[in-house]
Amino acid sequence: MSRMLFLLLSCIAFAIGASDWPSYRGPGASGVGDGAPPTSWNADPAAGPPRNILWKTPIPGLSHSSPIVWNNHVFVTTAISAKGDAPLKIGLYGAGDSADDTAEQSWVLYCFDKRTGKEVWKQTAHSGAPKVKRHTKATHDNTTLATDGKRLIAFLGSEGLYAYSLDGKLLWQKDLGIMDMTPFDDRTLSWGFASSPALFEDTILVQNDSKKDSFAAAFDARDGRELWRVPRKDVSVGSWGSPAVIRAANRTQVVLNGYPWIVSYDFKTGKEFWRMRSGGDVPVPTPFYADGLIYVANAHGRKAPLYAIRPDATGDISLADGATTSAGIVWAQERNGSYLQTPIVYEGIAYASTSQGVFKAYDAKTGEKFYENRLGSGATGFTSSPVAAGGHIYVTSEEGETYVLKHSRSFQQVAKNQLGETVLSTPAISAGVLFFHTRGHLLAVTKN
């Protein structure tokens, strides 16, 4: 092998290693990836031959777990019903019913080769009847894995917390009890668990805002030892968001979305840093940090707010009635947040979408609205969170249509592409490749 070829291959390997997407929404839950994914593709046989599809691998079961990427591997989980196909009701509706899906399930972790889609290994974490019911639009496996390159963490709600090596060996597991999540105004409902773990400096952070015994906790990723636990029954009666670990303003904090309070805790001790009244009463989006501010959105009920918060906030920073700023809040949009999707900040612009596909852009520093446009007809639901790379924003509907928008202060739709299957999970991006987990497949989209 020539020295030039060796150096070229070394650079390619380094680029792949530097393109990790280690948890839900990638590094820091930012939703921003590297490289330049394609803006045009097709994976729907009904819409014509495949285009810009690197590989497409079947995934059994029903799951909203988002894929994650580490080095040359893609990881994802699923729940496989002993009765076969599990029911799923997508679309725009307000019913809070539980799904008729109580058959025995197998919760399975998969590892695939990033370049070929070939299965490397799979492990069944748990088998048995689900311990709680789920919403008709949810699954028994809604959470996303997290990795730091040393271990793989799976938080399956009532089915437990697990740590695996990256080659599939079980390192430890913990039973954290029953986690039955429900909205604040009807505690008889059962909607399932959806809070993914955060992994930071050998510490796992979990959020459990369930019907009773709600808590936030930190565990040692090396052996599962509990480091701290704080009760949340007085600050949140239900949240489907995931913890955000944020290092800024000379401290490391864990921010949790919730209702009636959004709360920040000390990463090391669980001591509260700040709290604020939340507007939406069914909090789903995950907090994240970008451009020097912490962003939190929620919706449902009277308000659908998007907040930009100072990382050095302290105490009660709640907004007064009619106000859009406070000592700890830089700006707020009370009716322009997101219900199911987590917004994104990309190169100075904040983007947020409603479940009906009303897409909005703001100045990330000031909250000034740049535009508001609808994606699609308004009859299609949007649950997958937007992601960004290469100067474009990618927004996928529940029916598998991905809208590609130019990163700009004006609305510019570049393309609409077909995946051909239901999608409620959020794609991963690695070295210019988009990885989607659809109803029945894991697929890689890249420029062929």
How confident is the model over 402-422, as a mean pLDDT? 98
Angle 92-62-22 from CA coordinates, rounded to 5°: 95
| 349 pLDDT higher than 90 | yes
Q: What is the DSSP letter of 62?
A: B
What is residue 10's predicted lDDT score, i.e. its pLDDT? Answer: 36
> Looking at residue 301, what is its pLDDT?
87
User: Edge-to-edge, what's the strand order for the sheet holding 272-277?
Assistant: 244-248, 251-256, 261-266, 272-277, 315-316
What's the whole-number mean pLDDT along residues 100-107? 97
Contact by Cβ (8 Å): 90, 136: no
What is the rounded average pLDDT of the residues 135-145?
A: 98
Distance (Å, rounded) from C-alpha 327 to C-alpha 426?
34
Buried b / exposed e over 223-243, threshold 16 CB at 10 Å, is eeeebbebebeebbbbbbbbb
Q: What is the pLDDT of residue 17?
A: 42
What's the confidence (pLDDT) of residue 431?
96
pLDDT > 70? residue 14: no
Secondary-structure class of domain 21-445 per CATH: mainly beta
- Listed by start position, the domains of the chain span 21-445
Mean pLDDT confidence for 176-201: 94
pLDDT at 357 over 60: yes
Q: Determine contact, residues 55/116, Cβ cutoff 8 Å.
A: yes
Question: For the residues 389-405, what does the mean pLDDT come to?
Answer: 98
Per-residue pLDDT at 59 exceeds 80: yes
Q: What is the pLDDT of residues 288-309, one digit of tens each?
A: 999 999 999 999 988 999 999 9
Answer whether 375's CB lies under 8 Å from 412's CB.
no
pLDDT higher than 50, residue 210:
yes
How far apart, in whole angstroms, are the C-alpha atoms of residue 151 and residue 145?
10
Instruction: Provide the token pair at 193.
Output: 């668990």
* Residue with token string 């809208």: 403
The model's confidence at residue 433, banded by pLDDT at 50, 70 and 90, is very high
Q: Quote the pLDDT of residue 212.
A: 86
At 36-55, the pLDDT tens digits run: 999 999 999 999 999 999 99
Interior/surface letters 71-108, b for 16+ CB within 10 angstroms, e for the rest:
eebbbbbbbbbeeeebebebeeeeebebbebeeebbbb
Mean pLDDT throughout 321-330?
A: 96
With a cut of 70, say whether residue 11 has pLDDT above it: no
